[in-house]
Structure 1
């Protein structure tokens, strides 16, 4: 009976020791086995593992990719134009032993702080060597890769790998925005005025060319009209001359009719003449022949 009273507690204690000697590692974790602060074993794969109970402890670290966001900071590019920049980074623990030695018991929290300082220093160094136009451009891949490589090199001492660094914002400080917008507006207005001036100049050239073409066409048309009119007058005179040569009496008759038509048109004018005037020679004779010339 007394033996059983001691056996049960011994079994419980032994079971507790056995259970405390067993630990599991998730596939998302890496683990270190420490004995009085000294690393005794590294467990990077998932599964069961063993340690000495009581004297050894297990410290777990993330094996996944972690994120880090930097606070907004002012940088001064090569052209002394201040900019406000913030970024985010992706990083991962690749050497848990070195990581433990670098950050101690504070773990990932201290690593975040140190890594943030490394990335901020890398951003300042890289952006201080380029003009602001490169920072504000749409394609900043080269700059981000340079920041990542510089931070990766410095972060190796922490046992971590900087996988990627991305710039999320690159803006002017608030106090400079109004002046910058005013300068941009003035520049656009100047460009618009230049474009309007060039357009007005081009319009003047087009109008001048059109006016010159109108004058040339009008002059050519008048010239052709005068030529045609002269040819018609010559043809008419030729016809009159030929008609006069064939029948002088008929020619005189038609000329008289033309004179009657022009003189007797309706209007406010009056003609006073003697009835025996030569003007009425063809109206007085029944044959239509005028009186003998006097």
Structure 2
């Protein structure tokens, strides 16, 4: 009985509270540790870089996809894209070799090659794009400044060749020289326009040039038509002259042949020939209204009166 009384007195209410408090604190500490560990784990996704900084300085760059970690409260993590990005360069005016102003609008496809250099020298994606745009404008201005306006806008007469490739390579040389950790994979011109105040003047000049070209074609066409007509007329005249000469020759040959036949026929009877010629003359000279006064001894009178002597 005395032992039981002693045991009851030894298990005071405060001891139970202390026991549960220790368990609660332990659990809380474990939860905090787990939460701290979990909150400092991060996942590297496909197509991105994870930049680990310590007091603002880059201490590690995670490039492979997977789970990684950082030191709590000391290190921070930022993300940079690993895939190719498109930057639409702001349109800008340049002067051509023949001193004409034009508006150039282009875009660039670029990527981050070395995140640590990019962070150290460009600081951010926005700054990297701004630096890249300045280089692109500088190179394009230098390249197009060596070409005339017509060579730029006319693909048929253009001498640009690999213009886009030359611009890309020159820009990459500048980016590599200054160690910005980025590179351009492609540069393309979307359009090349004249400043608005120059468009009307150029349109008028183009219309004038087209009208001049059209007039040249019309003049050339008229000259060709006149030449063809002249050649045709000449050929026709030559053909007519040849046909006329051939006809005259044939007619002369026919008349000669007829005369020959007449001579052969009439030489057989001279008196008959005289009679025939006389009758032919009657047919030619006498009609219903003809009045003839003839001497009595004329051949006509003798024939009309029925005498042949």
Q: What range is the shorter-chain TM-score in?
A: 0.7 to 0.9
Aligned residue in 2 for 1:110: 127
- How many pairs are equivalent? 284
Over aligned residue pairs, what C-alpha RMSD do you find? Answer: 2.2
The CA deviation at 1:21 is 2.8
Match of 2:162, SS?
A: helix
| Alignment of structure 1 residues 40-189 onto 2, 5 Å | 40-104=59-123, 107-138=124-155, 140=160, 142-156=162-176, 157-189=179-211
Match of 1:249, SS?
A: helix
Of 221, 229, 233, the residue aligned with 1:207 is 229
The CA deviation at 1:270 is 2.2
CA distance in 1, matches of 2:232, 2:187: 62
- Contact 2:84–2:109 (Cα < 8 Å) also in 1: yes
- Contact 1:253–1:282 (Cα < 8 Å) also in 2: no
Of 278, 281, 285, the residue aligned with 2:299 is 278
Q: Identify which range, 82-91 or 132-141, moves more after superposition.
A: 132-141
After TM superposition, the score normalised by the length of structure 1 is 0.88
Matched, 1:3 2:22: yes
CA distance in 2, matches of 1:16, 1:191: 81
Of 19, 23, 34, the residue aligned with 1:15 is 34
CA distance in 1, matches of 2:161, 2:228: 48
Match of 1:212, SS?
A: helix
Of 214, 217, 224, the residue aligned with 2:246 is 224
Aligned residue in 2 for 1:33: 52
The CA deviation at 1:83 is 0.9
The CA deviation at 1:224 is 2.1
CA distance in 2, matches of 1:60, 1:202: 74
Specify every segment of 5 or more residues in structure 1 that has no aligned partner in the other structure, as ranges.
none
Specify every segment of 5 or more residues in structure 2 that has no aligned partner in the other structure, as ranges.
1-19
- Contact 2:294–2:301 (Cα < 8 Å) also in 1: no
